[in-house]
């Protein structure tokens, strides 16, 4: 991916220098020409086209912001409730993610799910032990959001 970005910037500068005047508008038009050229020759690169990876990172970021807002609203609802009615418990969630980066991202995103905290990860990184505040609801929401998180994380880290 870094090679593709540098090549695209090089094409943009080359385009700008070949024009009559050097302006930011010529640079951006050269950048889009470079995007088109790289899109046409993307099969010669070992990594996927970098714009697809940037789109997946953007999607993961939007998912993060959405979960952060949802989590804040749910926590505020629990805090402002006059009577605390919780049924805490611990459950395990199996994952097929690999590597420290993927497991860490999944753990951090699961901690955003209201009423859930990742307590431990097994040494083989296949099982997460999660503490839930309201057991039936927490387990269902974590399992539902886990599949969404895993797909978004795989889109960013694997290709």
Task: Map out the domains of the chain as residue ranges.
Answer: 1-44, 50-158
Query: What share of the chain has pLDDT > 90, as a percent?
Result: 39
CB burial of 66-82 (b: ≥16 within 10 Å; e: otherwise) equals ebeeebeebeeeeeeee
Q: H or E segment at 129?
A: strand 127-132
Non-local CB neighbours of 125 within 8 Å, separated by 6+ positions: 95, 97, 98, 99, 100, 103
Q: H or E segment at 55?
A: helix 50-80
* Residue appearing with tokens 């995007």: 35
**Average pLDDT over the chain, rounded to an integer:** 88
Residue 92 β-bridge partners: 129
Task: Quickly state the pLDDT bin for 33 (edges 50, 70, 90).
Answer: very high
Mean pLDDT of 135-142: 83
Predicted local distance difference test score (pLDDT) of residue 106: 92
Between 17 and 112, the higher pLDDT residue: 17
Between 58 and 140, the higher pLDDT residue: 58
pTM assigned to the model: 0.76
The DSSP letter of residue 117 is E
Mean pLDDT of 10-21: 90
CB burial of 2-29 (b: ≥16 within 10 Å; e: otherwise) equals eebeebbeebbbebbeeeeeeeeebbee
Q: H or E segment at 132?
A: strand 127-132
Which of 50-54, 141-145, 148-152, 155-159 has the highest average model confidence (pLDDT)?
A: 148-152
């Amino acid at each position: 991916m870094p090679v593709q970005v540098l090549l695209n910037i090089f094409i943009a500068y080359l385009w700008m220098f070949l024009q009559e005047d050097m302006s930011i508008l010529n640079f951006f038009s050269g950048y889009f020409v470079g995007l088109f050229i790289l899109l046409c020759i993307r099969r010669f690169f070992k990594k996927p086209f970098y714009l697809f990876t940037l789109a997946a990172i953007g999607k993961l970021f939007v998912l993060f912001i959405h979960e952060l807002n949802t989590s804040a609203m749910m926590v505020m609802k629990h805090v402002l409730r006059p009577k605390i009615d919780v049924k805490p418990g611990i459950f395990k969630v199996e994952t097929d993610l690999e590597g420290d980066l993927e497991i860490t991202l999944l753990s951090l995103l699961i901690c955003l799910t209201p009423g859930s905290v990742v307590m431990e990860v097994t040494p083989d990184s296949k099982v997460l032990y999660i503490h839930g505040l309201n057991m039936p609801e927490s387990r269902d929401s974590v399992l539902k959001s886990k599949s969404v998180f895993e797909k978004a994380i795989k889109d960013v880290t694997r290709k």
